[in-house]
Amino acid sequence: MVSIAVSLLFYEKRLGILFLLLSLIGGLSRVYAGVHYPFDIAASFVVGIAAAIIARRFFKIDDKLFAIVQKKISDKIARKF
C-alpha cells in the first residue's frame, strides 16, 4: 500500500497523502495486534517508497495518459459522493 501511495503522490497529492495515512494506520494496527514488529512496518515503508521511486524512474508513464485516466477515475469517485 505504501508503494501505491507514493506513486499516487507523484500525480495526485491529496489522494497520495490519504493512502499514506491509511497505510500508516494499517501498519500501526498490525503492530498493535501483535502480527508484526515495529521494525517490520518501518522496513515495509522504506521498501515501498524505494519501489515507487524505482518504478517511476525506470517505467516512465506518459503523463498525458495518466492525466486522462486520473480524470476519469476522479470523475467516477466524485459522482458517488
Read off the pLDDT of residues 5-62 as tens digits, 9 standing for 90 and up. Answer: 998 888 788 888 999 999 999 999 999 999 999 999 999 999 999 998 888 887 766 6
Q: What is the pLDDT of residue 21?
A: 95
- How many independent structural domains does the chain possess? 1
Domain carrying residue 39: 2-80
Model confidence, pTM: 0.69
Q: What is the pLDDT of residue 49?
A: 93
Higher pLDDT, 79 or 18: 18
Residue 77 scores a pLDDT above 90: no
User: Which of helix, strand or coil describes residue 17?
Assistant: helix
Q: Which three cell numbers stand for residue 10?
A: 507523484
- Between CA 18 and CA 24 the distance in angstroms is 10
